C-alpha cells in the first residue's frame, strides 16, 4: 500500500469516452492482485475534491506499469482523460480485496458487461500465467463496446460476445449466454442489473462465483464507511460491508440486491 506520483506512460482513447491510462508505478505493479483498485487523484484541485476509485486493468510487472481502463462519466474522469503522457498523477493503492484465483480442474468463466471488463482483463492475464483457459462472455450495448476481445484471445482464452443490439455475437443478454454455457466457477463485473442477474444464475445452478462491485467512495481505505454494500453471511446475518475494504470483490452469495 502506498501513495505515489505515478508518471503517465500512455493515455489512449479506446473509443470516444473510454480511456486507458498506463502509469509507471513499480510498487503497485509488483503488489497488485486482480480485482484491486487504485484511488486516483484526477487533478490537484480542491474541486472536484475526492479521489476516484478505478480498478486495475492490466499490469506489466517487468516494466513496472499499471493500466487503468475507465469511462469518462463526470468531472473527475474528464480531468483524468485530459492528463497527458509525461504528467504525473497521484495514486493510492493497490487497495481492496481482489478475486480468488481458481484452484483445481473445474472450468472457469468470466462474465463482463461493457466497462466491467476493466478488472477482469487483469484477472485473465493472471489466469494465463497459471495456464488456465477461461470462457469469457463479453457483453455490451453494441459491437464497438466489446473491448479487448483480440487481446483476451491472445492471452489464450475463448471469447463469447453478446450485444444488446445484435451487432456482434449473441443477440441479447450476456448472462443468458453464460447460462447456456455454464462452468464450475464464474467471475463477473459490470452494471448492477447484470451482476444481480448473474448472482441469481450462480445461485440457481449452485456454482462458485465472485463479483466486483462499484460504489461511491470517500477514503478508499476503510475509514469513512461511505461505500457500503448490504451483505449477508453464512449464518444469515445482514450487515453493511465496505466495498473498498471487504470488497470490491464479493462472493455472489454475500451480496444482497435491493
Nine-digit cell string for 223? 475509514
Q: Does 50 bind other proteins (CB under 8 A)?
A: yes
- Residue 119's alpha-carbon distances to 24, 70, 240, in angstroms, are 18, 10, 23
Stretch that binds other proteins, among 119-127, 148-156, 164-172, 234-242 (CB under 8 A): 234-242
> What character string, x for contact with other proteins (CB under 8 A) and - otherwise, covers 24-43?
-----------------x--
Q: Taking CB under 8 A as the rule, does residue 49 contact other proteins?
A: yes
3-state secondary structure of 182: coil
Helix residue spans in the chain (DSSP H): 26-31, 75-82, 117-129, 149-154, 174-179, 192-205
Nearest distance, CB of residue 221 and other proteins, angstroms:
5
Among 128, 167, 226, 251, binds other proteins (CB under 8 A): 226
Stretch that binds other proteins, among 62-70, 147-155, 182-190, 228-236 (CB under 8 A): 228-236
Examine residue 15 and tell whether it contacts other proteins (CB under 8 A).
no
What is the residue whose three cell numbers read 465472485?
A: 210
Within residues 57-116, the interface with other proteins by CB under 8 A covers 92
164 binds other proteins (CB under 8 A): no
User: Applying CB under 8 A, does 1 fall inside the site for other proteins?
Assistant: yes
Is the CB of 19 or the CB of 52 nearer to other proteins?
A: 52
34-56 burial code (b ≥16 CB/10 A, e <16): bbbbbbbbbbeeeebeebbbbbb
Q: Which of 117, 174, 168 has its CA nearest to residue 142?
A: 168
Is 240 a residue that touches other proteins (CB under 8 A)? yes
| Cβ-based nearer residue to other proteins, 126 or 254 | 254
CA torsion, points 40, 45, 47, 51, in degrees to nearest 10? 10
229 binds other proteins (CB under 8 A): yes
CA distance 131 to 134: 10
Residue from the set 221, 232, 253, 256 that interacts with other proteins by CB under 8 A? 221
CB 200 within 8 A of CB 176: no
Question: Minimum distance from CB of 166 to other proteins (Å)?
Answer: 27
DSSP state of 220: S
* Site residues (vs other proteins, CB under 8 A): 1, 3, 41, 46-51, 92, 215-230, 238-240
Amino acid at each position: 500500500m502506498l501513495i505515489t506520483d505515478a508518471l503517465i506512460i500512455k493515455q489512449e482513447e479506446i473509443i470516444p469516452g473510454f480511456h486507458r491510462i498506463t502509469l509507471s508505478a513499480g510498487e503497485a505493479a509488483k503488489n497488485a492482485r486482480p480485482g484491486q483498485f487504485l484511488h486516483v487523484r484526477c487533478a490537484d484541485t480542491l474541486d472536484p475534491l475526492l479521489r476516484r476509485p478505478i480498478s486495475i486493468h492490466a499490469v506489466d510487472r517487468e516494466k513496472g506499469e499499471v493500466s487503468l481502463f475507465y469511462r469518462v462519466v463526470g468531472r473527475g474522469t474528464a480531468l483524468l482523460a485530459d492528463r497527458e503522457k509525461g504528467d504525473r498523477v497521484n495514486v493510492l493503492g493497490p487497495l481492496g480485496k481482489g478475486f480468488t484465483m481458481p484452484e483445481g480442474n473445474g472450468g472457469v468463466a468470466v462474465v463482463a458487461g461493457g466497462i466491467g471488463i476493466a478488472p477482469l482483463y487483469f484477472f485473465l492475464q493472471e489466469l494465463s500465467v497459471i495456464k488456465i483457459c477461461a470462457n469469457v462472455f463479453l457483453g455490451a450495448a453494441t459491437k464497438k463496446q466489446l473491448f479487448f476481445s483480440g487481446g483476451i484471445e491472445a492471452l489464450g482464452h475463448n471469447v463469447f460476445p453478446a450485444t444488446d443490439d445484435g451487432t456482434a455475437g449473441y443477440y441479447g443478454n450476456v448472462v443468458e449466454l453464460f447460462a447456456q454455457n455454464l462452468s464450475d466457477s464464474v467471475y463477473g463485473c459490470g452494471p448492477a442489473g447484470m451482476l444481480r442477474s448473474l448472482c441469481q444464475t450462480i445461485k440457481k445452478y449452485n456454482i462458485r462465483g465472485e463479483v466486483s462491485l462499484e460504489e461511491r467512495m470517500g477514503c478508499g481505505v476503510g475509514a469513512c464507511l461511505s461505500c457500503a454494500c448490504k451483505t449477508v453471511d453464512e449464518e444469515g446475518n445482514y450487515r453493511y460491508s465496505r466495498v473498498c475494504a471487504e470488497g470490491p470483490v464479493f462472493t455472489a452469495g454475500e451480496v444482497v440486491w435491493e
